Amino acid sequence: MADSLTPPPAPVIAPELLALRDQIDALDRELLAMINRRAGLAQAVGEIKKKEGSVVFRPEREAQVIDGLKATNPGPLKPDSIAPIWREIMSACRSLETPTRVAYLGPAGTFSEEAALGYFGSSIVRVPCASIDDVFRTTAAGAADFGVVPVENSTEGVVARSLDIFLTTPLFIIGETSLFVRHNLLRKHNSLEGIEAVCAHPQALGQCHGWLSAHLPHVERRPVSSNAEGARMAGLDPALVAIASVRAGNEYGLHVVSPAIQDDVRNRTRFAIVTDPLRHPAPRASGHDCTSLVVSVANRPGAVHDMLIPLKEHGVSMSRFESRPARSGQWEYYFYIDVQGHPDDPRVATALQALRQACAFFKVLGTYPLDVH
């Protein structure tokens, strides 16, 4: 006889469902065989690249593969499902050619780590770093092949430290990716009582300013080097709470006390993928590309307007224009500009040449395929 300790018997599985599962199993075996054939082809490509001495990771090729599949997807698979599936397949194939070492702001569980995994797939060697400066240093020193750095958030604006380092770094941008950033209040136990401090990266404290002011108005906001570091600290001290991802909460054994506390539900962060141009050439044109620059002009009326005329004249569109003080005390600025297109396109090359002539300082930060979702 059933008692409260005996679980109810599992429902009988309908024969139609079993038949469908058999078909899924057979297809999965076919898919596995096909993915293995694909992996064999990637290995053969890898052998040719080794002989030629050329690099394995080709962001423009990966973007074209995904774009091509999305354009011909007959459904019912949703178009948004294509990119994550094929990124993982290409990540696994790439890892058979060579390991991809990726530096990002750690520790485990940061949004930078999530961006790195989203862009390169999970078959990578993770190189977590203590700061954004360290990501640039580690990549420049060759201890990582690529670095992933945040550049801009839809609520808080630019990530000033990354933009400042771009001025002087020898590294080059070869890709971009962006992430919906959902912040959660995390704690060792599930309560809002007796909290001493909220530990998070200054950007996250800013992105949750409204929620913190409404719910924890008298609690100290303690800036730390990353949200995952805040989660690590909250894991050690029950009086501390963190603002971080659910992944970071799982990593450090924390409860989600309040989910989705960011002020803007569409809160997004954009990341740049950087590498050493001496070890990795710039991507070729993919058909949907972006070129990032930083420039400055003489401090005279109309100089900024004049500088942008070549873009208009050559029909090159600008998708981003950001200014940062030059710290000269003279009200001078650096302008971070993204233009659509690749310098292989003569219109873009001519416009950039004219722009260079109009500027006191001109640096190409990189040219790369636009993010494919």
Question: Where do contacts with ligand PRE occur on this chain (CB under 6 A)?
Answer: 42, 45, 56-58, 61-62, 65, 90, 93-94, 97
Task: Say which of 120, 136, 271, 335 is annotated catalytic.
Answer: 271
Least distance to ligand PRE, CB of residue 159, Å:
27
Nearer to ligand PRE, 222 or 284 (CB): 284
CB nearest ligand PRE: which residue?
93
Least distance to ligand PRE, CB of residue 367, Å:
17
Nearer to ligand PRE, 45 or 158 (CB): 45
Nearer to ligand PRE, 19 or 48 (CB): 48
Residues 6+ apart with CB under 8 A from 86: 65, 66, 69
Least distance to ligand PRE, CB of residue 149, Å:
20
Least distance to ligand PRE, CB of residue 86, Å:
8
Least distance to ligand PRE, CB of residue 146, Å:
12
Nearer to ligand PRE, 174 or 185 (CB): 174
Token reading at 136: 């640039």
The Cα 110–Cα 112 span in angstroms is 5
Task: Say which of 269, 275, 291, 367 is annotated catalytic.
Answer: 269
The Cα 358–Cα 173 span in angstroms is 23
Least distance to ligand PRE, CB of residue 35, Å:
10
Q: Is 275 a known active-site residue?
A: no
Q: To 10 degrees, what angle do helices 346-358 and 303-313 make?
A: 160
Nearer to ligand PRE, 94 or 232 (CB): 94
The Cα 368–Cα 373 span in angstroms is 15
Residue 11 exposed, middle or buried by CB count within 10 Å (0-12, 13-18, 19+): exposed
Nearer to ligand PRE, 90 or 290 (CB): 90
Q: Is 269 a known active-site residue?
A: yes
Q: Could you give the residue numbers annotated as active site? A: 269, 271
